[in-house]
Structure 1
Amino acid sequence: MTAAKILEGLADGSLPPSEFGHAAHLRVARELLLHAPLAEAEARFCTLIEGYVRHLGAEAKFHRTLSIALLRLTAARLRPGESWAQFQAANPDLFANARGLLARHYSAECLAAGRTQFTPPDLLPLPA
């Protein structure tokens, strides 16, 4: 599925939940970052995901700090002209061990506290 179709499905609520796993989250983050400054991409990312989970009646699945932190890690790894396939190949840890990457920045307690509002990391700063 293309990034545009995923974005469309998030916006109108038609995306099947089975199609919105971790890789799709990263694909949406990357797509938004390619077309907007970081702050705007963060806001749109959160708005899209919050609206989507609300549409599904699964509001508890949204975690603001986790979403923003993964978007920032994605932003730090973007390379000009890189395709989605190239991005995936260059960042296997982001796809296979995102929790491990986040554990470098956040203690479990700090991350847990950031479900509804963004919480800055308590261990290592996120890329800006």
Structure 2
Amino acid sequence: MTDLEFEHQFAAGELSPALFTHEAHLRLAWIHVTQYGVETAVKNVTRQIKSYTQKLNAADKYNHTLTVAAIKAVYHFVLKAKSDNFQDFLKEFPRLKFNFKELMAYHYGFDIYTSPKAKKTFLEPDLLPFD
């Protein structure tokens, strides 16, 4: 599926839940960062993922800190990227796909994955800022 098809299916809440993997989260962030910039990407992606999880009756799985942190991490690597498509981007920066938790550990010294506060609001990194 093309990036445009993926973006539209996700925004409409029509993407199969089986397709919404960690890589798909990264792809959504990459599409929005490269098309609209990081600030708009944060607004769009957080709104869309919240809506998507609500539609699936899985709103408790949404984690605002993790979502924003992933977008900011993607943005960081987009600024360094030579690639012009998502698959090449992942090949250029495989840490995003294969070592994401380790990457987040450089920024957060506490568990953002299970924190009730992190799920509801963006918590700034306590170790290494994104900006």
Instruction: Output the amino acid matched with 2:49.
Output: I
**Offset, 1:114:** 1.1
Could you tell which deviates more after superposition, 78-87 or 29-38? 78-87
Change (3 A) 1:80 1:89: closer
Query: For residue 128 of structure 2, what is the aligned residue in structure 1?
Result: 124
Q: Which moved more, 1:1-10 or 1:83-92?
A: 1-10
Report deviation, 1:44: 0.4
Which whole-Å CA distance do the structure 2 matches of 1:13 and 1:110 have between them?
26
Unpaired runs of 5+ residues, structure 2, are none
TM-score, normalisation: structure 2:
0.89
Kept in 2, the 8 Å contact 1:50–1:62? The answer is yes
Secondary structure, in 3 states, of the residue corresponding to 2:18? helix
Shift of 1:122: 0.7
Number of residue-to-residue matches in the alignment: 127
The code of the aligned residue for 2:2 comes to: T
Give the CA RMSD over aligned residues: 1.5
Task: Give the corresponding residue for 2:97.
Answer: 95
| CA deviation vs aligned residue, 1:30-52 (integer Å, no higher than 9, x gap) | 11011112111101010110110
Deviations along 1:49-71, whole A, 9 cap, x unmatched?
01100111100111011011111
Q: Which has the higher helix share?
A: 1
On the 8 A contact 2:83/2:89 being kept in 1, the answer is no
Percent of counterpart pairs with the same letter? 28
Q: Shift of residue 80 of structure 1?
A: 5.6
The residue number in structure 1 matching 2:88 is 86
Letter in 1 for 2:7: L
TM-score by length of 1: 0.91
Unaligned runs of 5+ in 1: none
> Is the CA contact (8 Å cut-off) linking 1:110 and 1:121 kept in structure 2?
no
Query: Does structure 2 conserve the Cα–Cα contact (< 8 Å) formed by 1:105 and 1:125?
Result: yes
